[in-house]
Structure formats: structure tokens, C-alpha cells
Amino acid sequence: MVVIKLKTGAQQALPDKYRTIEDFYEDINTYEEIIFAYNGQKYVVTYYDHILSVMQYNAAATEQHYPSPQAFAENFTLDGTSFQDLVTKISVLVR
């Protein structure tokens, strides 16, 4: 059993939207998995062992791989728009 104690006694609530792409980079490096929603669809992003994977939630056939969070942000598109241009519009569901 692992118990983690926070210094403040209560976890700070995190916003459900990113303000910048740098906020996303910080989260993916910290949490290694993010689930977000965009246009009624959920997506899972994981970053482990220098490989970033993204797929629609519960749809393994849609999985794509990128060598870094930056490559993902520049090259992954939704509705013809790159993730780096959509990052402030997605809803972060799980970190």
C-alpha cells in the first residue's frame, strides 16, 4: 500500500482547460497520461519511455505514435487543425 501525503492537506484543483501548449507539455511530463475531450469525442494521450501515444478512447485501432510531445503537438490534427492550435479548446478530463 502506498500512501502519499500532501504538504497542504488538500490537493489544489486543476483547471479543465490549458492556457498554453507549455501547460500541456508540463502535464504530460508530470502525469504521463491525459484524457481529454474535443468535439464530443474522448482521447487518451500517454507518454512513456520517450514515445507519445494518442488514440480515441477505447479505440486501439486509432492509435498513433510520436517521438515527443512537441512532435505530437505539431503533427496530430483534429478536424484539420493541429493539436498545438487546439490545446486551449480541449477539455481535460483526467490527468
Share of the chain above pLDDT 90, in %: 83
CA gap 84, 52 in Å, rounded: 15
pLDDT for res 15: 72
Altogether, the residues listed in the chain come to a count of 95
> Domain extents for the chain?
21-94
pLDDT for res 61: 96
Strands 33-38 and 81-82: unpaired
For the stretch 5-32, pLDDT in tens is 444 444 456 779 999 999 999 999 999 9
Cα dist from 33 to 7, 8, 36, 53, whole Å: 24, 24, 10, 9
CA gap 60, 29 in Å, rounded: 22
For the stretch 43-84, pLDDT in tens is 999 999 999 999 999 999 999 999 999 999 999 999 999 999
CB neighbourhood size of 30 (10 A): 10
